[in-house]
Structure 1
Amino acid sequence: MMKVAVILSGCGVYDGAEIHESVLTMLALVRAGAEPEFLAPDIPQLHVVNHLTGEVASGESRNVLVESARIARGKIKDIAQANVGDYAAVFFPGGFGAAKNLSDFAIKGADCQIQADVLRFAKAVAAAGKPACYICIAPAMIPHVYGSGTAVTIGTDEATAAAITAMGGQHISCPVKEFVIDKDRKLVSTPAYMLAENIADAATGIEAAVKATLALI
């Protein structure tokens, strides 16, 4: 069974990894015969959001690795200690954690930076020519990993697409149940909850993107 990496960014759509997307990615991988291994950076979250009210919880702090372990059922590694050579492909579920913890895209837009351990790992994946799949808002990190001209989608959101273009990416509008592939870079992206109206919409696109990514191995 081939091992693949799934990079998490916390636990919860507003301040971490989107739980539906993370679980759907894992389910699609296992059904396709892959063995997912979870990774996350051992860093503080940007902030903690009360998911009942949508408001930032003042005075509360959480750790990205610890929170990600909730989704991984405790089986997770610090991405700083991970070796790209151990994995056949890598997957980045979305959620605001990708834009707040794995990067600061939610704050700085086109001027964003990617967290150092995450960037090292993602660039090593690209340099090794291994397939990668970025889901939902996570594709906003792609231009900083793969460089100018990379084909990428976050769906149809004009402001996010404009920021990706400003970073040098080639944004392609895409329906929720489909994906965009940059074959030269073995790179797949899909909109998921950037467009999904329900979990079934997200599941269809994610499963298609997972299959397309595994086919590039």
Structure 2
Amino acid sequence: MQQQKIAVILSGCGALDGSEIHESVLTLLALDRAGLPYQCLAPSIPQTRVVNMETGKTKEHIERNVLEESARIARGKIKPIDCANPEEYTGLIVPGGFGVALNLCNFGLNKENYTIQRDVFHFAKSIADAKKPAGFICIAPILAPKLYPAGIKITLGNDNPTAKIVEKLGAQHIPCAATACVVDKTYRIVTTPAYMLACSIQEVAQGIECLVKELNNLL
């Protein structure tokens, strides 16, 4: 039997302009504990913005590459997503962080009129169309309405403004605690709120462990 390999799509390094580091590392840890091999992927594109994590302020006239920054989390073991063949993967997980809304798509700038970055869309849509399981963490479920039919069940935590936008786009938002996850068995999607709602890294870990367990059950 061929080993399962999960694609983990990263969006940079840092909660305000890339992948949320806690969520990303906890995802890799949960996959490893579950015995699920993974491969980190990221688009090789400039970051939309660079943020000083200490001050929260945007740094002007500084450029960073999403793939290069994501490689920090992956310890260098990462591939450009445009070079990855979706047929070689049995599922995907997208950790959160505002890089999802800035680099993997432009939701952070255009709200409900957003589009998904071309290479990310091609890969993720191929996974969705093949009915392979997918996990979306924190703000990452915003990608789902552009990848799946109307009626998908996802969570962004509580009834927040972002949840209202995904509902406007056709998704069904399910309130969920940070320590739990929501499973849509029809479309084989698992989502968890993570830092959209969590008050501690322990809560984030519980939610991500739930997500990986349920995703494993869908394989």
Instruction: Provide the residue aligned with 2:125 in structure 1.
Output: 123
Deviation, structure 1 residue 157: 4.4
Contiguous gaps of at least 5 residues in structure 2: none
Q: Give the whole-Å Cα distance in 2 for the aligned partners of 1:32 and 1:158.
A: 32
Q: Give the whole-Å Cα distance in 2 for the aligned partners of 1:214 and 1:43.
A: 31
Instruction: Provide the residue aligned with 1:49 in structure 2.
Output: 51
Instruction: Provide the residue aligned with 1:8 in structure 2.
Output: 10
Deviation, structure 1 residue 36: 1.3
Deviation, structure 1 residue 214: 1.0
For residues 2-25 of structure 1, give each alpha carbon's deviation from its aligned partner in whole angstroms, at most 9, with x where no partner exists: 211100000000000000000000
Q: Give the whole-Å Cα distance in 2 for the aligned partners of 1:156 and 1:122.
A: 25
Instruction: Provide the residue aligned with 1:112 in structure 2.
Output: 114
* 1:84-123 matches, cutoff 5 A: 84-123=86-125
For residues 18-72 of structure 1, give each alpha carbon's deviation from its aligned partner in whole angstroms, at most 9, with x where no partner exists: 0000000000000000111000001010000000100000110100000000000
Select 2:38's aligned residue among 36, 39, 46.
36
What letter matches 1:64 in structure 2? V
Contiguous gaps of at least 5 residues in structure 1: none
* 1:124-143 matches, cutoff 5 A: 124-143=126-145
Select 2:188's aligned residue among 179, 186, 189.
186
Q: Give the whole-Å Cα distance in 2 for the aligned partners of 1:26 and 1:75.
A: 12
Deviation, structure 1 residue 88: 1.5
* 1:202-217 matches, cutoff 5 A: 202-217=204-219
Q: Give the whole-Å Cα distance in 2 for the aligned partners of 1:100 and 1:56.
A: 13
Is 1:171 aligned to residue 176 of structure 2? no
Bigger mean CA offset, 199-208 vs 149-158: 149-158
Q: Are the counterparts in 2 of residues 91 and 133 from structure 1 also a CA contact under 8 Å?
A: yes
Q: Are the counterparts in 2 of residues 89 and 214 from structure 1 also a CA contact under 8 Å?
A: no
Q: Give the whole-Å Cα distance in 2 for the aligned partners of 1:150 and 1:3.
A: 24
- 4+ aligned runs moved over 6 Å, structure 1: none
- Name the TM-score, length of structure 2 as normaliser: 0.97
Q: Give the whole-Å Cα distance in 2 for the aligned partners of 1:49 and 1:77.
A: 24
What letter matches 2:191 in structure 1? S
What is the DSSP-based 3-state SS (H/G/I as helix, E as strand, rest coil) of the residue aligned with 1:134?
Answer: strand
Q: Give the whole-Å Cα distance in 2 for the aligned partners of 1:148 and 1:111.
A: 16
Deviation, structure 1 residue 147: 2.3
Select 1:148's aligned residue among 136, 147, 150.
150
Aligned length: 217
Q: Give the whole-Å Cα distance in 2 for the aligned partners of 1:157 and 1:40.
A: 30
